Amino acid sequence: MSFPRGSQTQKIKHPIGTRKGPLEVPPPTEKDWPKDDEQDHVLVDPDEELDSLPQPYRMINKLVNLLFDQSWEIIEERNALREAESSQIQPTVYPPLGEIQLNKMPNCMAVSQDYVFIGGAKGFSIYNLYSAKQIYAWEKLKVDVTSIWATDLGNEILIAPVDEMGIVLHLPF
């Protein structure tokens, strides 16, 4: 049986989202209120979203970002080094009071109390730190003094010259 197009008996098609009959709205209760409104809503600006670039431009973008990151790391290292240098306490520099003329090239030097101990080839010498005058010279050693260790023991000073073979020399005074 066919119905003519304008017939009243034709079925009425409802849109998908509509219901037949009256809507029932339940009364609001506190249980239905959202707990954290602010956490549920994230506002995203559609203009701030990044569009995907075509391949050659993505590669260029990655290289530029890599170059920028490496440059920034170098800048941070330099700033950290500059801050470390500026935070160090600068030692007080005193001008020289006098000059000591040496006959030979010294191998080593040590300072204790008011004396300078200088070790060289075939001996060592002791100078007053303030007057720059030689107090004692021992030049009868058969080996070169390669290092001197001197320490203050109250009224005395312990001197330990070491020769080129690593032996601590015993000096008769």
- pLDDT for position 73: 96
Model confidence at 79, in pLDDT bands (50, 70, 90)? very high
CB-based contacts of 146, cutoff 8 Å, min separation 6: 107, 108, 119, 162, 163, 164
pLDDT tens digits along 105-155: 888 999 988 889 988 888 888 888 888 888 888 877 777 888 898 888 888
Q: Is the pLDDT of residue 48 over 60?
A: yes
Q: Is the pLDDT of residue 159 over 80?
A: yes
Rounded to the nearest integer, the mean pLDDT of the chain is 77
Which distant-in-sequence residues (6+ apart) come within 8 Å of 53 by Cβ?
61
